[in-house]
Amino acid sequence: MRHIPRKRFGQNFLKDQSVLDAIISAIAPCYSDIMLEIGPGLGAMTEKLLHHLARLDVIELDRDLAAYLTNRFPTEKLAVHCGDALDFDIHSLRACSDRKIRIVGNLPYNISTPLLFHLMDFASSIEDQHFMLQKEVVERMVAEPGGKAYGRLSVMLQWRYDMDMLFVVPPEAFEPPPKVDSAIVRMIPREMPEKCSLQALEKVVTQAFSQRRKMLRNNLAPLFSETELEKLNIDPTKRPEDLNVEQFVSLANHLK
């Protein structure tokens, strides 16, 4: 298919066969898996996944690509959902099964963060997630406290997932090549995340990182007094990147 990549969809199609094989090896799909691919594009990953699966669901926003995939692969093997992944009900894939869902995808930068947060709502129904993202985004996801990369994305996702950056993918592996390196991340929902309101955690984390260079006593002043921070064993003179996930959870659980 001759398809001109559309910038508004952030389309960069993976073409390097060795990279594709490495991703398949990392995913290790099994015949009976319930799997969803987000953003299949021209179907390079789709084709390889179908060699291992009884059936695969894909969601594609581009109508031309959705029609192409529908015509290219047998409908009994591939179910193509044309639409926005941010509106897709993941639970609908489990209608006839109690198995958890595996999700894979090459996520464009413009929707990566909103989509990662959207999928948190379905984490209890998901077995694992393997995504291609900009390397910088993956570094932020897995960053440890104390570094510049550690921030809102790190805290929110690490509360809900165990994550690993598997390997880096260079620009020349894509058509057209992006301007930055990409990376593969594995995300496994934590069986027993620390009990916490997602809304409260997001409120605390967003407020804390609103001005990274300021101390917590300034950033969190709308939510906590210095005395309250000290009672939670949190130094008010620390900066937000100095707190670990457990400390943010503690703050969220004490939010009035």
151 appears as a binding residue in the annotation: no
Q: Is the separation of the CB atoms in 173 and 19 below 8 Å?
A: yes
- C-alpha 213/C-alpha 204 separation (Å) is 16
Neighbouring C-alpha atoms within 13 Å toward the C-beta of 50: 18
- Residue corresponding to tokens 């969803």: 36
- C-alpha 154/C-alpha 178 separation (Å) is 24
Q: Look at residues 250, 203, 212, 210 and name the one whose alpha carbon lies nearest to residue 231.
A: 250
53 appears as a binding residue in the annotation: no
Phi, psi angle pair for 228, to nearest 5°: -65, -40
12 appears as a binding residue in the annotation: yes
255 appears as a binding residue in the annotation: no
Alpha helical stretches, state H, the chain: 17-27, 44-50, 63-72, 109-120, 135-142, 152-160, 198-208, 216-219, 226-231, 245-253
Binding residues: 12, 14, 39, 60, 84, 106
Binding residues for S-adenosyl-L-methionine: 12, 14, 39, 60, 84, 106
